[in-house]
Structure 1
Amino acid sequence: MYVYKCFLIVSKLSENRCMWFDTFMTFTENLVYTFARISVMITKHMASFHHFIVIGISYKKTDSYTRSQFQLSADAICDLYQKAALFGNAGLLVLSTCNRTELYAYNISAEWLLEQWQHIVQNNVTVLNENIYHYAGKVACSHLLRVASGLDSQILGDREIVDQVKQALSLSKSFNATNVFMERLVNIALQCSKRVKNETQLSDGTTSVAYAIVKYLKNNAPNNATKLLLLGFGSFGKSIAKNILTYMPHLDLSICNRTLDKVEDFSQYNSITPIPWEQRYQSVNDADIVIGAIGGGYQLNTDNIKTCKQRLFLDASIPSIIDKGLNKLVGQYVVDVDIISNILTESLQTRVTAVPKAITIVEATIQAFERWLLEYEQMKCIRTFKKYVLSISSKNAVGSYLFKSQIDSNINQIASKLALKIKNAPAYKGCHLLHAINEVIIF
């Protein structure tokens, strides 16, 4: 009725009926197109979810040695972001930790991601294909929220993953390799993680990998051990150092890092000895306990390690920096990150009871993200409609203010009908959309 009324006004006020008929037809076609797009979105119920995928490997199917073969170096990650940025309206997030390597993508195919990953690992393609998992759509979104909340961590409720997700998003943005969908989803995942931490006991207690190392040392360190060497001083290494100083202050802690400035700054406020990277083997041979916390694929050369004394190696690095072959040498014992993580099982009972509530929070957050995504897609349709309406209701297009006033009145009526259609949609009761529609389309 509103479109027909608009047509009558156009016809009566126009001296050139053909021109106004063409204008009316353009208006009508775009109005119908807008209704059709919104109807399709509601019927398909969030089809945009299907453009989001994740492929990866994790501790659930692979041990630390296998995972280390597929971890992506900093250079490889940057190269992936550069390539992803060329896709245009696409998004990529690379999460590479000691427990998992995952590639989250929007508008990028799983085949392309797998091809790039295979090219990087080269000789290990068969093993990668056997252990990789692939999620899409809502399942992939839920997986990201579970990861960020600590529900999918090897140590349940581990909080270190939150900073790793933030850093991954920041790096992706620096290469323009993200988009509206990806940024919104990651930010919602971080908000979900905060809710889980504040509203449940999923992260209660000291059960981080850094604390697990301390707990292992208390039970298994050689009785006469006094000298401890920490290799690596990133965020993880720093966490280990703080735990050692807090819970085992009797040990003489030395820290060796490829960048010594950070260690020297730390030594100003803590009782530790900074060791230049060039002196690492001398320090390893002098130590009773060696903890590896270095990324980037570096590995100690076993030929430079002397076996004149009993020594315990704790390898918390992915890829591993300490060759397990050292176990074959007299007095040398190597423990990897999987063994370290397993010793925390007894401390996790409280966290396990918090899992159902944490899952409920994740599910509620996904539903909120669904509502936002539907609104976002609808608003894009309405903005497109507004663009066409503005073009035909301008003074130059209609030839008189009288016509503009009358067509504006009809457009407002059409907007009301559009809002009513959305409100009565079966998928959502979209009352919260009405204010936004008024701002966008009624002028």
Structure 2
Amino acid sequence: MPGQSSKDISKFFIAGINYKKTDAAIRGKFAISNDQYASLLSLAPSYGLNELFILSTCNRTEIYGFADQPDQLIQLLCHQTEGNADTFSQLAYVKSGMSAIQHMFSVGAGLDSQILGDYEIVGQLKVAVKFAREKGFIGTFSERLVNSVLQSSKAIKNNTGLSGGTVSVSFAAIQFIKENIADIAGKEILLLGTGKIGRSTCKNIIDYLGTTNITLINRTQEKAAELAFELGVQYVPADLLSDHIRRADIIIVATNAATPTILTSHLQDQGNKLVIDLSIPCNVEESSRLLPNVQLVNVDELSRINDATLQKREAEVPLALAIIEEHIAEFTDWHEMRKHVPVLKAVKTKLKEIQTFPSYIQLCPGTVTTRPVDSDLKIQRVINGMASKMRQQNTRGCQYIEAINEFITTGSN
């Protein structure tokens, strides 16, 4: 089982690409679906990897894990992607040790998101780690690190305005519609995909555009039916896609297919359409942008929206960074203590042995009749004191001798 002993932080890497150096089309070549994720994890041991997870969103594709060299992680990640490892390496950022840990905290807080403070990343991080955990690739180190990142993110959410307002990629789509389409109530809206982003978008349409004139289509029809019933909109089977593209004025695509769901041929000569593609890889054929009746907008274009809400968020960044610093300090303290666990266990074993030595029994005659539970408590008190001192001073050998001396001294009183 990975992660049972203290890990060398210098061997913890993150390798990734994000919106800062790549556009949606390139990121789409390195997006990882659930099926690809499962296949990559099954291959990981052959690459010498046993503790890792992959975060693939519309903003980024990143792999986190322990390795001798980051190239192991990059080669694994790119094994099944459309893009190759050479291209990825040219565009990627690679961080190790504390730099990788700090990056992960920034990502979890929304500081590294395409829209500052986008809190959707938290759910995406949880899903990514849960998937890897179920396959046995999350060890003690990763579990503790992820929990620390989530706690930090929650503290930032509750104590700052970094995620204040209603700005996310899905909400940016709503803003774009509101600013560019008149008479929303009279428009037919088609929403493809009822996953996390599709669900959020549908709710935002109802809440902020004030319309339920929405038709849902999903590859799994039961999921579309469930959401339609919950929100009071309609759904149709996927085989009616072409008919409803023809009827729709606004088409929002939030699917995760490997190839485009909506083709140029679907849209040609079908009336004026606003098409918003929230998918990575893009699920609307790029050539449809050339049609005179189509206005196509993707996630990169939506994320350029910069309003007063985002300016307010920027003012909260220093406070968010201070919270992150506190949680990183707590995590590194925990990791330092993990290094001492073998020594502490060895001392505990030795103290139990000392109780049986004739010289100790002669020195502390009362201990022969001591209840085992009392003896265990005394040993644990000594170990706790030793751990506290080791945390403050890097003097393992001295603390070992002092612990034995303290145990004998307290036993003779």
Partner in structure 1 of residue 361 of structure 2 = 405
Report the CA distance shift for 1:136/1:181 in structure 2 as closer, same or farther (over 3 A). same
Partner in structure 2 of residue 15 of structure 1 = none
Q: The residue matched to 1:62 in structure 2 has which SS? A: coil
Deviation at 1:303, TM superposition (A): 2.5
Cα contact 1:264–1:274 (8 A) shared by 2: yes
Cα contact 1:291–1:314 (8 A) shared by 2: yes
Q: The residue matched to 1:151 in structure 2 has which SS? A: coil
Partner in structure 2 of residue 311 of structure 1 = 273
Cα contact 2:55–2:124 (8 A) shared by 1: yes
Partner in structure 1 of residue 3 of structure 2 = none
**Matched residue type, 1:402:** P
Report the CA distance shift for 1:93/1:420 in structure 2 as closer, same or farther (over 3 A). closer
Partner in structure 2 of residue 369 of structure 1 = 331
* Rg comparison, structure with higher value: 1
Q: Does the alignment pair 1:422 with 2:396?
A: no
Q: The residue matched to 2:61 in structure 1 has which SS? A: strand
Q: The residue matched to 2:53 in structure 1 has which SS? A: strand
Q: The residue matched to 1:189 in structure 2 has which SS? A: helix
CA–CA distance in 2 between the matches of 1:285 and 1:152?
A: 38
Deviation at 1:278, TM superposition (A): 1.3
**Matched residue type, 1:305:** L
Identity %: 31
Q: Does the alignment pair 1:158 with 2:118?
A: yes
Q: The residue matched to 1:54 in structure 2 has which SS? A: strand
Q: Does the alignment pair 1:79 with 2:39?
A: yes
Indicate which of 87, 94, 101 corresponds to 1:134: 94
Partner in structure 1 of residue 321 of structure 2 = 359
| 1:89-168 correspondence runs (5 A) | 90-107=50-67, 109-121=69-81, 124-168=84-128
Q: Does the alignment pair 1:206 with 2:206?
A: no
| 1:321-400 correspondence runs (5 A) | 321-387=283-349, 390=352, 393=354
- Using the size of structure 2 for normalisation, the TM-score is 0.83
Q: The residue matched to 1:120 in structure 2 has which SS? A: coil
Report the CA distance shift for 1:277/1:336 in structure 2 as closer, same or farther (over 3 A). same
| 1:220-231 correspondence runs (5 A) | 220-221=180-181, 226-231=187-192
**Matched residue type, 1:259:** T
Q: Does the alignment pair 1:215 with 2:175?
A: yes
Q: CA RMSD in A?
A: 3.2
Q: Does the alignment pair 1:270 with 2:231?
A: yes
Report the CA distance shift for 1:94/1:415 in structure 2 as closer, same or farther (over 3 A). closer
Report the CA distance shift for 1:249/1:128 in structure 2 as closer, same or farther (over 3 A). same
**Matched residue type, 1:64:** A
CA–CA distance in 2 between the matches of 1:419 and 1:226?
A: 67
CA–CA distance in 2 between the matches of 1:287 and 1:168?
A: 34
The unaligned stretches of length 5 or more in structure 2 are 1-5, 368-377
**Matched residue type, 2:152:** C
CA–CA distance in 2 between the matches of 1:238 and 1:414?
A: 55
CA–CA distance in 2 between the matches of 1:173 and 1:107?
A: 18
Q: The residue matched to 1:56 in structure 2 has which SS? A: strand
Deviation at 1:242, TM superposition (A): 0.4
Write the deviation string for residues 27-46 of structure 1: whole angstroms up to 9, x where unpaired.
xxxxxxxxxxxxxxxxxxx9
Report the CA distance shift for 1:241/1:424 in structure 2 as closer, same or farther (over 3 A). closer
Q: Does the alignment pair 1:283 with 2:244?
A: yes
**Matched residue type, 2:281:** P
Cα contact 1:188–1:369 (8 A) shared by 2: yes
Deviation at 1:196, TM superposition (A): 0.4
Partner in structure 1 of residue 199 of structure 2 = 238
Q: The residue matched to 1:313 in structure 2 has which SS? A: strand
Partner in structure 2 of residue 24 of structure 1 = none
Higher deviation after alignment, 84-93 or 155-164: 84-93
Write the deviation string for residues 379-416 of structure 1: whole angstroms up to 9, x where unpaired.
232213444665x6485xxxxx524536999x989979
CA–CA distance in 2 between the matches of 1:371 and 1:212?
A: 40
Deviation at 1:313, TM superposition (A): 0.6
Cα contact 2:55–2:61 (8 A) shared by 1: yes
- Using the size of structure 1 for normalisation, the TM-score is 0.78
CA–CA distance in 1 between the matches of 2:274 and 2:286?
A: 12
**Matched residue type, 2:205:** I
Cα contact 2:288–2:296 (8 A) shared by 1: yes
Report the CA distance shift for 1:261/1:122 in structure 2 as closer, same or farther (over 3 A). closer
Cα contact 1:285–1:306 (8 A) shared by 2: no
**Matched residue type, 1:261:** E
CA–CA distance in 2 between the matches of 1:140 and 1:420?
A: 28
